[in-house]
Amino acid sequence: MTATEKSTSAPRRLQWMTATVRDVLDETPRVRSLVLDIPGWPGHRAGQHVDVRLTSEDGYQAQRSYSVASPPEAPQVMLTVERLPDGEVSSYLAGDLRVGDSFELRGPIGGYFVWIAALGGPLFLVGGGSGIVPLMAMLRHRAAASSQVAATLLYSSRTAADIIYRSELDRLAGKGDAFRLVHTLTRERPSGWTGLARRIDRAMLAETAFTPEASPRIFICGPTPFVETAATHLRDLGHTAHLIKTERFGPSGR
């Protein structure tokens, strides 16, 4: 399709589809990944999200948005959901849902907070808590595409037990393909912890980010205050504003 055709074509209308749970993976005590079969899924780009709609027997509906955790190359779609206190949708998805259950979903949604290997890098990812989810889709896409783009993930978690995808991240960091993993814990640290141990601040970003001269593509995702603080510090450090992409969600008690 030519650039002219892209600009004049009508946007694809999102349709509600049925997602059936193929597998459930416990990531942490409060976080689960759902592996979904979705007939008619049109494909997605790393960083996009979906809307999930639940309907009760009395007709009441609740709708929430969740980032896609799987790369475009995966045969199934994965959502990773953190169970929130009093969260009517997250409590069901991350608690009651079982293999074989179904729910409504539409997507993919979003074209701003996305990365494809062809865009190149370097790639600097900053995640807080479950904000790791769309960033993980990017790292999985990078691996699936055999990309050698230099990439760094700076990931802030409350405790070591709250690190989502921990074993997979360790495996990716051990491949020797220019991916660097940096953890920081904001609350409890286990004995022998050698990672960072404070909230992300300007000094930490200056130490871990690529230099502004390298023009890294920066993606930040997490609670709103976390995202705003990180983006401000990176701009103050000289990074180009249009290369800083952000996605945020409501307070999580971090």
Chain segment 38-87, per-residue pLDDT in tens: 999 999 999 999 999 999 888 899 999 999 999 999 999 999 999 988 88
Q: Which residues lie across from 152 on neighbouring strands?
A: 124, 180
The answer to whether residue 223 scores a pLDDT higher than 60 is yes
The answer to whether residue 7 scores a pLDDT higher than 60 is no
**95-126 pLDDT per residue, tens:** 999 999 999 999 999 999 999 999 999 999 99
**Distance separating alpha carbons of residues 135 and 133, to the nearest angstrom:** 5
- Domain residue extents for the chain: 13-109, 117-249
Contacting residues for 96 by C-beta, under 8 A, at least 6 apart:
none
| Domain range 117-249, its CATH number among 3.20.20.140, 3.40.50.11540, 3.40.50.300, 3.40.50.80 | 3.40.50.80
**Distance separating alpha carbons of residues 133 and 173, to the nearest angstrom:** 17
Q: Domain 13-109 carries which CATH code?
A: 2.40.30.10
* pTM of the full structure: 0.91
Cβ–Cβ under 8 Å, residues 239 and 213? no
Could you identify the residue written with the tokens 């180009």? 240
Beta-strand pair 179-185/77-82: unpaired
In angstroms, what CA-CA distances link 188 with 42, 162, 227?
42, 10, 22
Strands (E) across 89-188 are located at: 102-109, 123-128, 151-157, 179-185
Residue 5's pLDDT band, with cuts at 50, 70 and 90, is very low
